[in-house]
Structure 1
Amino acid sequence: MLRVSREDRFHSLYVLCLGLRRGELLGLRWEDVDLDSGTLEVVQTLQRVGGELRFVRPKTENSERTIPLPEICVDALTEHRRRRFVERSDVWPDWDDHGLVFPSRRGTPMEPDNPHRSWGAVRQAAGLGEIRLHDMRHTCVSLLLDLGVPPHIVREIIGHSDIEVTMTICAHASLDEKRKALRRLGDSLQ
């Protein structure tokens, strides 16, 4: 998916959706991102409230968090900033700056369904079947757990209020993982 989306306008959004909710991504401002230190602050989300797009506090207290960014995220955001500067220059007189990392083509808050429109083509080209954009958060949790990251750290990265949510909703064991676990159990019983 990351290779396929490299030239897509939403590539950096797809990179970051491995840990952030859609509303968190669309509410993210450049002032919340420090590319030099490689961190990102989740302090607001973009939600539809009463038919209007509004910036609101994150879903839960634990959703407000600081996320250290791996190099792949810093690189994607750096390139994204460069591309948005060009996009902004092309429509300068009509640009309505809100300081958003992922604005509309005019600088205003983006309609939440817009990333989904290009996601279908990216998903198909990457052979991901019917996976939803939000499912990438689940993928992030599963990958972190597979890498041996303790569940409480994964919960903090993802911003879940309860570790049970992290473990039951997002941690999907593959057939190979189950096979390895039961093989280890079988070996220990012999």
Structure 2
Amino acid sequence: MGLRWSDVDFDAGTVSVAQGRVVVPGAGTVTGDPKSKRSRRALPMPSDVVTMLRAFKVQQAEERLALGAEYPDTGLVAVNADGSPIRPETYSAECTRQANAAGVPVIRLHDVRHTAASMLLAMGMSVSAVAKSLGHDPAITLRVYGHVYDDALASVGDALLRRSPAKAGG
């Protein structure tokens, strides 16, 4: 929710996590630094995400032109058609609406991050790569998602005893 256009590098195909916007009870929506030093990071974007962000930036520019001086210049990516920042709970409500429409279980939007991490580990991605993408220390990733990693360990013995074709004779 805190992503700014200045955090998107279309040429490099990266997005930088440099700030966040969250709802704080009693204080409303607050913009601030990421939680930790590791949380501040640059992440590569898949090419289809780069393409979609480019198109969205053009759409946002058209909306800005249509409203003229009334369009606030927040620099944020996540804004309404009138340029006002989208409230974080709006995304959560939309996620719930879409899950209901798709007939899949509703989970908190924050838990989608956990699901993605679990899936990446189950697909064999390294703990360090998943940790870096989450902005975690690898030890935290292992502690939080260790159940997935432990499941993968069950096949390590079999994998070690398999012979690759190049070494079958040796």
Query: When the two structures are superposed, what TM-score results if normalisation uses the length of structure 2?
Result: 0.76
Gapped runs of 5+ residues in structure 2? 162-170
Query: Counterpart in 2 of 1:126?
Result: 102
1:128 deviates by 2.5
Count of aligned positions: 158
Counterpart AA for 1:82:
V
Separation in structure 2 between the aligned mates of residue 110 and residue 167 of structure 1, nearest angstrom: 33
Q: RCO (CA 8 Å, sep 6+): is it higher in 1 or 2?
A: 1
Q: Which whole-Å deviations, capped at 9, do the CAs of 1:114-139 have from their partners, x for residues lacking one?
A: 11222122112333312221122112
- Percent identity over the alignment? 34
Given candidates 88, 113, 116, the residue that maps to 1:137 is 113
Query: Counterpart in 1 of 2:167?
Result: none
Gapped runs of 5+ residues in structure 1? 1-25
Given candidates 65, 69, 74, the residue that maps to 2:45 is 69
Given candidates 65, 75, 81, the residue that maps to 1:99 is 75
Q: Does 1:53 align with 2:40?
A: no
Distance 1:85 1:170, change over 3 A: farther
Q: Looking at CA atoms only, which structure, 1 or 2, has the larger radius of gyration?
A: 2
Please tell me whether the aligned partners of residues 23 and 89 of structure 2 are also in contact (alpha carbons under 8 angstroms).
no
Please tell me whether the aligned partners of residues 142 and 171 of structure 1 are also in contact (alpha carbons under 8 angstroms).
no
**SS of aligned partner of 1:46:** strand
Please tell me whether the aligned partners of residues 141 and 171 of structure 1 are also in contact (alpha carbons under 8 angstroms).
no
Counterpart AA for 2:2:
G
Q: Which whole-Å deviations, capped at 9, do the CAs of 1:46-94 have from their partners, x for residues lacking one?
A: 2345614332110111100011112232123123223323333443342
CA RMSD of aligned residues (A): 2.9
1:27 deviates by 0.9
Q: Does 1:111 align with 2:92?
A: no
Please tell me whether the aligned partners of residues 139 and 170 of structure 1 are also in contact (alpha carbons under 8 angstroms).
no
**SS of aligned partner of 1:27:** coil
